[in-house]
Amino acid sequence: MTLPLTGERTVPGIAEENYWFRRHEAAYLHLIGHCADAVVLEAGCGEGYGAQLIRTVARRVIALDYDELTSQHVAEQYPQLNVLRGNLAMLPLRDESVDVVANLQVIEHLWDQEGFLAECLRVLRPGGKLIVTTPNRLTFSPGQDTPLNPFHTRELAPSELDEMLKEAGFRVDELTGLRHGKRLDSLLDGQIINAQVEVALSGAPWPAELKEAVESVTVEDFDITPEDMDTCLDLVAVAVRA
């Protein structure tokens, strides 16, 4: 089963999606060490490539998504995963049943973010970790309170994510930012994101130079650091249940 492109969900193996896929993959690889030999819930697994990557180091991975077609695809494509269909507002797991909850590029889609974090706290064992990535509101929707992306309900600035996690009862052990490395900063005069957005909105064919640039992107083209958080592209957090 092949999942359709939605304009938001990233699917591997498609040349035009490679920038976004590698950007997400870079975050997974940065965080994957927290999943070693753990029982991991990926809450909002999407296509499933991230859950499968986590499975290479984890003891068990539960891949949860609300969409029926997506859940069917993940079960067929990645048989090593335990696939569940369910709502992130009411996680279908027992109290204190997992070591890690992974939530990458998902929390910005949720209407009740605080309720979701309460559910994460409930299903995590003491000392368990919540790993989160989400677009930085300050750079993704600059100057806006309402997200520019119609698929997003609420985006967060670094300080807002930090405060929300702490108010939910977590200790924040890491808050860093993903950004372009030097090569991406110079590729297409630093306009690789805007160029992709313009093509998507216009419906025009991809220019050869843009397609070649997007296909060339690798995970090494992204840096994840705690410096100058307000200018990063994505927020990356590790929070611990006390």
Residue 212 counted as domain residue:
yes
Provide the whole-model pTM: 0.94
Taking the C-alpha atoms of residue 188 and residue 222, their distance in angstroms, rounded to an integer, is 16
User: Which CATH number belongs to the domain containing residue 117 in this structure?
Assistant: 3.40.50.150
41: which strand partners? 62, 101
Those residues with Cβ within 8 angstroms of residue 178's Cβ, 6 or more apart along the chain or in another chain: 23, 26, 27, 30, 133, 222, 223, 224, 232, 233, 234, 235, 236
Residue from 107, 62, 60, 116 nearest 87 by CA: 116
Residue 27 counted as domain residue:
yes
Q: What is the pLDDT of residue 10?
A: 80
Label each residue of 66-102 as H, E or C: CCHHHHHHHHHHCCCCEEEECCCCCCCCCCCCEEEEE
DSSP letter assigned to residue 221? G
102: which strand partners? 42, 131
Domain span at residue 128 reads 15-241
Residue 1 counted as domain residue:
no
Taking the C-alpha atoms of residue 62 and residue 137, their distance in angstroms, rounded to an integer, is 29
Q: What is the pLDDT of residue 208?
A: 94
Whether the Cβ atoms of residue 25 and residue 3 lie closer than 8 Å to each other: no
Q: What is the pLDDT of residue 12?
A: 87
Residue 9 counted as domain residue:
no
Those residues with Cβ within 8 angstroms of residue 215's Cβ, 6 or more apart along the chain or in another chain: 15, 18
Residue 194 counted as domain residue:
yes
Taking the C-alpha atoms of residue 130 and residue 171, their distance in angstroms, rounded to an integer, is 10
Residue 129 counted as domain residue:
yes
Give the torsion sign (CA, 59, 54, 176, 97): negative
Taking the C-alpha atoms of residue 240 and residue 174, their distance in angstroms, rounded to an integer, is 10
Residue 8 counted as domain residue:
no
Residue 107 counted as domain residue:
yes
Number of domains observed in the structure of the chain: 1
Mean pLDDT by 10 residues, the chain (242 residues): 58 90 97 98 97 98 96 96 96 98 97 98 98 97 89 96 98 98 93 91 91 96 98 98 90
Q: What is the pLDDT of residue 7?
A: 53
Whether the Cβ atoms of residue 115 and residue 145 lie closer than 8 Å to each other: no
Q: What is the pLDDT of residue 1?
A: 55
Q: What is the pLDDT of residue 8?
A: 61
Residue from 22, 11, 18, 235 nearest 139 by CA: 235
